[in-house]
Chain A
Amino acid sequence: MRWDDYFLKSGDKFDNFWSSYLKADERNILVILGLGFDPRMTYGYTKLIGYGGKGLRNCLMIEFDEGEHSPSYKHQNLIIKNRRRMENIMPVGSELLNKFIIINPNVSINALDLIKIEDVVSYDDIIIDISALPRSLYFQLIGSLLSKMEALSSVEKACPNIHVIVSENATLDSNIIDEQPVEDATYLRGFASDLDSEATAHLQKIWIAILGENQENQLKKIFDKVNPSETCILLPFPSSRPRRADDLLLFYRQFLFDGLMLDSNNFIYAGERNPFQVYRMIHRTIRHYQKTLKPIGGCRFTISASSSKLLSIGAMLSAYELKSEGVGLIHVGAQGYTIRDEDRLEEHLTETELFSLWLSGECYE
């Protein structure tokens, strides 16, 4: 497993790590983030520049168009506010760069080439803040950057370190709701493997689903697309809410037990604060099925992450690493998002906890 040994910091340890890391040497960093209405958009960057240290603190802001009917347009004022905030907090000597992409349900998303090697190669550290980025976008960004770094290191060139940071806030997550999921589940570009292949259509399909709240429509769409022979549900446990896993089972009981006819053997568990534990559990599950089903020709795996962004990284890393072994990542996009309790968003910001994952670079060498 590539990330068997991993690097994960959160809370105070996040502060301690980044503070000492940025002060130790001059480091030119590029923070990639999304321009959105989520107040967490600038939270991570503000923290990073607050730790001091020498070097560039550039920011690449990705602006995305969700289509003219996106409910997110109702929150233009928040988007404008975030943009101004970014412009105001940029340190002297650092640049605010922009990129634009269409995320429209009628157009399949292709962010694989959004960031070119020349955009990033001169930096020491690339930090992707996924807090305000749509899932479909950050999966592709991270995958594409990891791939580019592998290509660079294969020709023995120096590569930037790749970090992912995420501002976790359960209250804000519950107040920001997917609007109008697009009609169908699709394999994300870069993570389809051969799951859509006719040549492997006769193989058993295993669906590994990370469960999160209020995703029943999405799960049904994924099920319709994948048509699995077997389903494995990953529940977030342990959790800050001890009954969270039970609540999820109750919520989805009709779908899981009547629709899919699952039993207790179909459930696996991973801590809700550790995406690498998710990664390991998925790995283990895949190896188990591969060994078991090898005599009948093998199988293919589809992973879905209807969960927090933090845990979704674990799913993405598994799919990235095992792509050549028939493991794909599936997603149901939303046409936009809507916010409950908009006036109190900033208040809830204080409950945010930052997580940092180091995915590639010096610490793995």
Chain B
Amino acid sequence: MSELRNPFNLLTAEHITPDTFLELFGPGILDIYSDYNIWDRVNTIQSVPGAGKTTLLRLLTPTSLIRLFENQSLERYRELYSRLYSLGFFSEEGPSVIGVLLSCNKTYHSLEDLGINNVRKERMLLSLLNSRIIIAFLRSLLEIHSLDFPRDLKRVTIRQSSEFSIPSNLRLPCNGYELFTWASNLEKSVMNSIDSFSPLQAPYLIAHDDLFSVYLINPVNFYIDDEKIQKKVILMLDDLRKLHSRQIKYISSLIVDARAPISIWISKRLETLPEREVFIQFSDFVDTDGQLIIEETIVSKGILPLRDHNPPITLETYWRSKSKIRQFKKLLSEIADRRVQLARDVRQTRTNFSSFEICLKSSLDGLDWIKECRRINEIISNRIINTSSNIQKYAKWIEAIDNKEIPLWEKNRELRALEIKISRTPNQRTLINLSRSNESDSIDNDRDLDSSIKNAADLFISKEFGVPYYFGFDQLVKLSSINIEQFLYFSAGLFEESISNIWIGKSFVLDPKDQERILRSRAEELWYNLKFSIPDVDIITSFIDYFGEKCKNETYEDNAPYAPGVTGFGLRKSTYNMLMKNTRNVSYNQFIKILSICLSLNIIEMRPNVKQGNKEWMVFYLNRYLCILFDLPLYYGGWRSVNSGEIMRIIKTVYKKN
């Protein structure tokens, strides 16, 4: 694939060739399933756009599984193959699963505005689904056995081996070609009804009463060349949100009630859910350590009967748990490195571009920054001395920092952190007294200048002196907000600059200033483009502006009270529960609506059950890329509380403005 100029710009997983897809895939994402029994059950994966749902499903299709089996001993596929083997997707003879991927992004929605009653619409929906499930299964069945579709359909025989009803015009036993023809004609009839310029005709002829196809595609009913099929079936319904909300409810309940003898996987985006349910999906299934909570409340909400249905996995919640964040970073690193290796310019110029991370300079070491760092050092040192009452004492502290064997930019950070610490101490005498107890008569940096203050110092220096802050691979990972698509979007901009530099004879390693310029520009572009997809865009934009400016004002207070900075707000659990239950208060409903839109579009992120001050909080953070627009840090942690009174004020402000 050497013709790829910037592989980070390659569009979504669906559009990448199988070889490239497998090369780009990071095996880490499969860890999601290591805690589950995934067979003979309904599994739901949900997330905001770009988190990797379709990628996961596509991995389980015949093309990918066969390719992986054939290349299992290649270094770059070994780990991926091994993980899938341990999950039961392979045996010694090859793939042991027939993955049937069915997109719900097709026509179904149009059934809802035909001029017929709901019962008829449901029956037509079942007809369409049945026909498509059967066709998709036949295709996957032939593919997994390395047969040609549709030419080899006649080698397949279908004999009904178990009790379930089938439509009267479907004759079993039959061969695969006959079944395919039956299903194709059925699909065509329904689609002609929807798409015809003529009025709808005789819909009753193409209407089914149940989803019999999930029983029919049980492998026990199928033979190839008279031999039984020895594989499991996974039916994957992708993008359930593309159905009408009424259809989603109907199909979801059918699937759960069906207790089909196959595994059914459903992927959906969070916008599918009613507003309050968005919060439930983020909060009720996973605790702060990423452990699943099996609660009675799940069953009582009617979302899933536990014996046949694994709790839905919300990809963001999974990755955000403490033990998984490192894994996610590793996943992103794997994905990025694979893309780099595919770039045409990297190959052609034989650049020693061993990993993506090395093209992002991660510190201010270097000749370019010496002069500026010295200048900053002098300014901060003088400021500390000039504003204090004990010049001699502070001069000693400054000297102690200066004598440390660390880079100049790190010294500046410690000086600025000291300045913050001084401004926090109401009585500087206290600070002086503390220091007297220490023999060396100097401040103990590790104890007194913790990492949060130092991180705030970095931000303050950046703001005051225009020194870059948003650079380096770690910052890029934070910027992704646990979203692969977001990571690729920002990486694409950085990589573009990097490979362009190669051609003009410059280093492919990007200076921090260039990185920040690119990331800032990409963040502005992303926010601008997202607005085209946001319902009530003016309200949401006003809310984010309000929220962002508040965070900024509180972050940049001299004493950095919420070091390293405020990037979120928290609702006490009791306030949160009140909002969820009180459905009659207009302002609360408006607030919930804003939050649910922001959550489902990944504009804000939710952290449930945060413990602080003997209370539990629901904390909402800005998506990290929005933090760039407000000059905020990318760390989580700093947030301020919001009570019900302030909620009313926020709503009033936001709606008044619009």
Contact = CB atoms under 8 A, between A and B. Distances in A.
B187 A223 contact: no
A13 to B, nearest CB: 32
B105 A225 contact: yes
A198 B102 contact: yes
A225 B107 CA distance: 12
B533 A202 contact: no
Given A196-B106, A202-B149, A254-B9, A227 B197 contact: no
B150 to A, nearest CB: 8
A113 B198 CA distance: 8
A193 interface: yes
Please classify the interface of chain B as helix (H, G, I), strand (E, B), loop, or mixed, using the class held by over half of its residues.
helix
A184 B534 contact: no
A189 B194 contact: yes
A224 B533 CA distance: 15
Contact of B14 (A144, A151, A224, A258): A224
B135 interface: yes
A173 interface: no
Interface string A180-217: 11011011011111101111011000000000000001
A259 interface: yes
B187 A199 contact: yes
> Interface centre among B149, B187, B195, by most A CB within 10 Å?
B195
A233 B194 CA distance: 29
Interface stretch (B108-116, B155-163, B374-382): B108-116
A111 to B, nearest CB: 11
B280 interface: no
Given A181-B533, A199-B187, A144 B197 contact: yes
Contacts of B113: 107-108, 110
A325 B246 CA distance: 33
Given A190-B197, A192-B195, A227 B14 contact: yes
B325 to A, nearest CB: 29
A98 interface: no
B5 A257 contact: yes
Nearest to A182: B533
Contacts of A254: 9
Contacts of B12: 224
A184 B242 contact: yes
A328 to B, nearest CB: 9
A201 B139 contact: yes
A217 B14 contact: no
A202 B11 CA distance: 20
B292 interface: no
B183 interface: yes
Interface in B139-194: 139, 149-150, 180, 183-184, 187-188, 191, 194
A178 to B, nearest CB: 8
Nearest to B9: A258
A115 to B, nearest CB: 11
> Interface centre among A151, A189, A220, by most B CB within 10 Å?
A189
A236 interface: no
Interface string B16-33: 000000000000000000
Contacts of B532: 180-181, 217
A192 B139 contact: no
A92 to B, nearest CB: 36
Contacts of B10: 258-259
Interface in A107-156: 107-108, 110, 112-113, 143-144, 147-148, 151
Interface string B106-128: 11011011000000000000000
Please classify the interface of chain A as helix (H, G, I), strand (E, B), loop, or mixed, using the class held by over half of its residues.
loop
A356 B537 CA distance: 38
A184 B105 contact: yes
Interface in B87-105: 102, 105
Nearest to A229: B15
Nearest to B107: A196
Nearest to A220: B11
Contacts of A107: 113
A139 B14 CA distance: 29
A261 interface: yes
Contact of B132 (A110, A186, A198): A198
Given A108-B109, A196-B107, A202 B197 contact: no
A192 B107 contact: yes
Name the interface size band of chain A. Answer: 35 or more
Contact of B188 (A147, A194, A227): A194
Interface residues of B, number: 46
Contacts of A193: 195
A308 to B, nearest CB: 21
A192 B191 contact: yes
A23 B131 CA distance: 57
A241 interface: no
A69 interface: yes
A231 B12 CA distance: 16
A308 B289 CA distance: 54
B11 to A, nearest CB: 5
Nearest to B114: A110
A189 B536 CA distance: 27
Interface string A345-363: 0000000000000000000
Contacts of A191: 195
Nearest to B180: A199
A334 to B, nearest CB: 9
A191 B184 CA distance: 19
B344 to A, nearest CB: 10
A193 B197 CA distance: 11
B236 to A, nearest CB: 14
Nearest to B533: A183
B529 interface: yes
A42 B15 CA distance: 45
Given A108-B109, A259-B9, A190 B533 contact: no
B533 to A, nearest CB: 6
Nearest to A191: B195
Interface string A248-288: 00000010011111000000000000000000000000000
Nearest to A227: B14
Nearest to A143: B197
A194 B191 contact: yes
Contacts of A151: 198
B466 interface: no
A276 to B, nearest CB: 22
Contact of A198 (B4, B136, B533): B136
A193 B113 CA distance: 18
B203 interface: no
Interface string B293-337: 000000000000000000000000000000000000000000000
Interface of B: 3-6, 9-12, 14-15, 102, 105-107, 109-110, 112-113, 131-132, 135-136, 139, 149-150, 180, 183-184, 187-188, 191, 194-199, 242, 529, 531-537
19 contacts: A69-B536, A108-B112, A143-B197, A147-B198, A151-B198, A180-B535, A183-B533, A189-B110, A192-B191, A196-B191, A197-B188, A198-B135, A217-B529, A224-B14, A225-B105, A227-B14, A258-B9, A259-B10, A260-B11
Q: Which 8 A-B pairs have the closest CB atoms?
A: A147-B197, A258-B9, A198-B132, A196-B106, A199-B184, A198-B135, A196-B107, A192-B195
